[in-house]
Chain A
Amino acid sequence: MPPSADVVLSATGIARRFAYRLVLANVDLTLRRGDVLLLVGPNGAGKTTLLRVLAGLLSPSAGQVERPGAIGMVGHEAMLYPALSARENLRFFARLHGVDGRGRVDTLLGQVGLSHRADDRVGTFSRGMLQRVAIARALLHEPGLLLFDEPLSGLDATASRTLVGLLQDFRDRGTAMIIVSHEMERLGKVATHMVRLAAGRLGELESLAGRDPVAVFADLMRGDL
């Protein structure tokens, strides 16, 4: 039994209603340090809702989420202010996290490769660049778990490669991640597990050790294709 000190997230019995419908039903999930979980499923299955509940942006209608460690999130939206520069945005969020701003912000900007655009308004950025600032924002407080909602959508090949590179760095450093995506060719190698969410219910966790992620994905999605 792996030591519980390694647990970064523990969700039990999560349910969430919206406009009379049950969007999530009885979801249990435990994640440990180093786990990289690919969350797949048909459209409207509740994947974004689940991420938002796990991050704490939504409160579940039932169940509990325990977050022994810090969580960072990179959602569909960048969660930034277009009129401010990348640096200003990051400094603002750093202050809210209680993190000492300058040094950390500059380091992170370097890490995501945006030091040369740090003082440009984020409203002028391409989607790929926005994603990178968003990642920097998510990393400000050194979270043990990162949540990604379709991180590669809207990115061209180069930007995708850069992003996958970043994700691999995180994995190598032992940061746990949950990634909502169907891009198996690009992300399959980063992940350690895969799970399917359909109609608000979470299936069995599939370990990807020694298996072809594309095949596992095809298996899981068989009912939907």
Chain B
Amino acid sequence: MTLRDSAARLGRIGAGITVLAFLGLAAVYVRALVYTPVEANQGAAQKIFYVHVPAAWSALIAISVTGLLSILYLWLKDRRIDLAAAASAEVGVAFATIMLTTGPIWGKPIWGTWWTWDARLTSTLFLFLLFVGYLVLRGVLVDPTVRANLSAVIGVLGMILVPFIHLTVYMFRTLHPAPIVLKPSAPSLPGVMLVTLMSSLGVFTLLYIGFMMQRYALGLLREAREEEMANAS
């Protein structure tokens, strides 16, 4: 099977997983809106939580995958690994965006303000900026080997940076508590809500995998075509 065929097949499997994940997402929405009780303090707005938290979770998976694949690339120097790392970064930026937009939507009715420098929001903001930097860098580099090398460097550095940023923001927050104390994902969630959250986490993980596979397949096909075009002349 040629590279083209295996890439196309990978893309189809990825699409299948994505469809499955969207079905699961629909089920989670139904469960969250209809079958999960409304939270006492925050009301209906709290339900955004079931999208907001898993989105952040997927973004974190994305940076970890990008970081680990970057290390693997630096070791094996296989450009396909770089393509996979880049695919993960693109998917990650999408999930980070979802988290960052659902945050204010949730925040406005509850806290009266669009943005708080809450530990998780802030960390995800910087994660988002890291992804953007990574993708912009890729955009300005023409040679695929140089692009792969330099992206991998940012990927590794970025992955190691994330826990430091989280710690920084956490330490900052414990010194400067928010005007309204909030407990968005306190472990003391009643069972029903916990199950909804867990299902949503599972669905979002599946979404990540599906998107990632499709994006990777697309990357492989694009690379194959660039190579063909360059050598045709």
Contact = CB atoms under 8 A, between A and B. Distances in A.
Interface of A: 17-22
Given A18-B143, A19-B142, A20-B230, 12 more contacts: A17-B145, A19-B143, A19-B144, A19-B230, A20-B144, A20-B226, A20-B227, A20-B229, A20-B231, A21-B230, A21-B231, A22-B231
The 3 closest A-B pairs by CB, nearest first: A20-B230, A20-B227, A21-B230
Contacts, number: 15
Contacts of B226: 20
A191 B230 CA distance: 36
A20 B144 CA distance: 8
A21 B142 CA distance: 12
A19 B229 CA distance: 11
Nearest to B145: A17
15 contacts: A17-B145, A18-B143, A19-B142, A19-B143, A19-B144, A19-B230, A20-B144, A20-B226, A20-B227, A20-B229, A20-B230, A20-B231, A21-B230, A21-B231, A22-B231
A48 to B, nearest CB: 16
A18 B144 CA distance: 8
A21 B231 CA distance: 6
Interface string B138-176: 000011110000000000000000000000000000000
Interface in B68-88: none
A166 B107 CA distance: 76
Contacts of A21: 230-231
Contacts of A18: 143
A21 B229 CA distance: 9
A20 B139 CA distance: 16
Interface in B182-233: 226-227, 229-231
A17 B145 CA distance: 9
A19 B144 CA distance: 6
A199 to B, nearest CB: 11
B76 to A, nearest CB: 15
B143 to A, nearest CB: 5
B171 to A, nearest CB: 44
A121 to B, nearest CB: 33
Nearest to A19: B143
Contacts of A19: 142-144, 230
B77 to A, nearest CB: 11
A154 to B, nearest CB: 28
Contacts of A17: 145
A22 B229 CA distance: 12
Interface in B96-133: none
Contacts of B230: 19-21
A198 B230 CA distance: 17
A57 to B, nearest CB: 14
A165 to B, nearest CB: 40
Interface string B10-24: 000000000000000
A17 B77 CA distance: 15
A221 to B, nearest CB: 22
Contacts of B144: 19-20
Contacts of B142: 19
Nearest to B228: A20
A18 B227 CA distance: 11
A116 to B, nearest CB: 43
